Amino acid sequence: MSRVVDGKGTAADLEQLIEVGTSICPGDFPHASNEKLGLAAVPFPYKMNTICFVGPSAYAPVNSALVLFREEFEARIVKRHTIPVTAVGAAL
């Protein structure tokens, strides 16, 4: 998350955040409906792979941010582009 916030993250970082959360809370994570994003509400309780609510509770804001504001996260990730180089080695 720090890399993404600092503008140094990649798409793989976003996917890893989702993957880690899925290992803690498998399935759909509860959230409110969002007509703009086409999301139906997912009610509580969430599924857990832990005996403690701390893991899912820690992941809840991350999941919510990634679901509701995905475009903003994607706007901050590094786009890896190949820069064309001329025969003399100068970037175009």
Tens digit of pLDDT for each residue in 40-60? 888 777 676 777 777 777 888
Average pLDDT, the chain: 79
Kindly tell me if the per-residue pLDDT of 16 is higher than 90.
yes
33: left (phi over 0), alpha (psi -120 to 50) or beta: beta
Query: What is the pLDDT confidence band of residue 87, given thresholds at 50, 70 and 90?
Result: low
Stretch among 34-38, 57-61, 62-66 having the lowest mean pLDDT: 57-61
Q: Give the position of tokens 């140094």.
A: 8
Which residues make beta-bridge pairs with 34? 39
CA atoms of 85 and 18, how far apart (whole Å) = 36
